[in-house]
Amino acid sequence: MVIAIDGPAASGKGTLAKRLADHYGLPHLDTGLLYRAVAMAMLDAGLSLEDEAAAARAAASLIADKLADPRLRERAMGEAASRISAVPAVRAALLALQQRFAGSAVGAVLDGRDIGTVVCPEARVKLFITASASERARRRHRELALRGEETTLSAILADIEARDARDASRATAPLKAAADAVILDTTELDADEAFEAAKRVVDGAQVH
């Protein structure tokens, strides 16, 4: 069984995806880390994020063990990833990697921006996790504060709104819910409530 989870930044999809993977005993891939790793490789090499050819090369040569680097979780890396993810050649280079992961014999849980629409359009379960921009900014601010990163709520909200606009308007694989996805708005839900709601969707799909 493949569970495809999409949604904008800080909607809670990553936390939810990990919990669902643990609950159902499935491998999990946070596909956003792939784009962050490409951006990090470029920045470490002193390359401009505007260099699309370099971004494509970095994506084609991505090594999976880079996904454990704690720097990938930094706010700046998320912003950089959003910029290079608009490059069609980067998305094409990472698509095969994601689809190989989804092809696991037992199934998989993948979360990102285009899992249900592009990466795994035949997934049995598709969830689109969302929340208000202000609530997502509040969550991200709390997360960064716990990691010791200093920033302001207003700055994070501006980042989130800019990323939403960029993700939704890019020509290749824009952020949108698949036509057959279940929309789960977590604005008023805590992590446990969101998990229970998502689990009901998955369990229902297994019955049919």
The answer to whether 39 is annotated as binding is no
Give the DSSP per-residue string, 126-172.
EEEEE--HHHHHHHHHHHHHHTT----HHHHHHHHHHHHHHHHH-SS
Average of per-residue pLDDT values in the chain? 93
pLDDT at residue 67 in the model: 87
Rounded-to-integer distance, Cα 58 and Cα 46, Å: 12
Per-residue pLDDT reduced to its tens digit, 157-187: 999 999 899 889 888 888 999 999 999 999 9
| Site of tokens 């880390």 | 33
- Mean pLDDT for the stretch of residues 56-71: 87
- Does the predicted TM-score (pTM) go above 0.85? yes
Per-residue pLDDT reduced to its tens digit, 104-157: 999 999 999 999 999 999 999 999 999 999 999 999 999 889 988 889 999 999
Q: Are 6 and 128 in contact (CB under 8 A)?
A: yes
Whether 64 has a pLDDT exceeding 80, the answer reads no
- Mean pLDDT for the stretch of residues 68-89: 90
The answer to whether 9 is annotated as binding is yes
In sign, the C-alpha dihedral spanning 128, 129, 131, 135 is negative
Q: Which domains does the chain have, with CATH numbers?
A: 2-207 (3.40.50.300)
- Mean pLDDT for the stretch of residues 79-105: 92
Length, in residues, of the chain = 208
Residue with the bigger pLDDT between 135 and 79: it is 135
pLDDT at residue 207 in the model: 56
The answer to whether 199 is annotated as binding is no
The answer to whether 13 is annotated as binding is yes
pLDDT at residue 66 in the model: 73
- Mean pLDDT for the stretch of residues 69-88: 90
- Mean pLDDT for the stretch of residues 88-95: 93
The answer to whether 11 is annotated as binding is yes
Residue 153 backbone zone (phi > 0: left; psi -120 to 50: alpha; other: beta): alpha
